Amino acid sequence: QSVLTQPPSLSGAPGQRVTISCKGNSSNIGAGFDVHWYQQIPGTAPKLLIYGNNNRPSGVPERFSGSKSGTSASLAITGLQAEDEADYYCHSYDTSQDLFGTGTRVTVL
Amino acid sequence: QVHLVESGGDLVKPGGSLRLSCAASGFVFSDHYMVWIRQSPGRGLEWISYISPTGSPIHYADYVKDRFTCSRDNTKKSLSLLMTGLTFDDTAVYYCARVGSYSGFDHWGHGTLVTVSS
């Protein structure tokens, strides 16, 4: 079964840039399917952060940006803030099913 | 303002059944695909089912086919998930969500906890 692989954890100081990778394969991201990103504060539901690879819903700060290349995608947080401490998940489509990434816990030092 | 509220989560024995509901408000429910997703510590986020605006077609993840049934009532702006043959692995928080642009899940409910235990 296909998996979208993310680093389990990342950390950065306030103001730094953090990049979260999401590695797929030729049957999901590499097949051209869009990638979406969600932020989840522990104890709450996931919140859509990026849709369609690089689009931000209204209300999402500009410091969040998404990109996709080949079989991988990335979420960048530029100018890390304390409130960005959360879990982040990528999401795409594979053969007949939607897939979520393994999740990345971002810690603000 | 889009609002989704799940209900129906409970403690159930292995082999048992449960029906979850999702009440929607703040948008034209009949215009949107809806999904069920679940989350557990061991398996992370898992997509369960898509249902089209009209109620057909419906797509299921392989691991729930023939056990779970998704349905919707557009007159009541509600979504349901009937779960049968529950196993320990079905223990999770279950979310309903709205499908938005580019098929991202743009609004989620708060979730309802299903615990399968003997």
- Chain A residues within 8 A of B33 when measuring between CB atoms: none
- Chain A residues within 8 A of B105 when measuring between CB atoms: 36, 38, 46, 48, 91
Question: Is beta strand A86-94 parallel, antiparallel or unpaired with respect to A36-40?
Answer: antiparallel
| pLDDT tens per residue across all 109 residues of chain A | 678 999 999 999 999 999 999 999 999 999 999 999 999 999 999 999 999 999 999 999 999 999 999 999 999 999 999 999 999 999 999 988 999 999 999 999 9
Q: Please tell me the distance from the alpha carbon of residue B98 to that of residue B30, in angstroms, as a whole number.
A: 11
- Chain B residues within 8 A of A50 when measuring between CB atoms: 104
| Cβ–Cβ contact B95 with A under 8 A | yes
Interface touch A91/B104, C-beta < 8 Å: yes
Q: pLDDT tens across B58-77, in order?
A: 999 999 989 999 999 999 99
Q: What is the DSSP string of A24-89?
A: --TTTGGGT---EEEEE-TTS--EEEEBTTTBPPTTS-TTEEEEEETTEEEEEEES--GGG-EEEE
Q: Which of B45, B95, B110 sits opposite A89 (nearest CB)?
A: B45
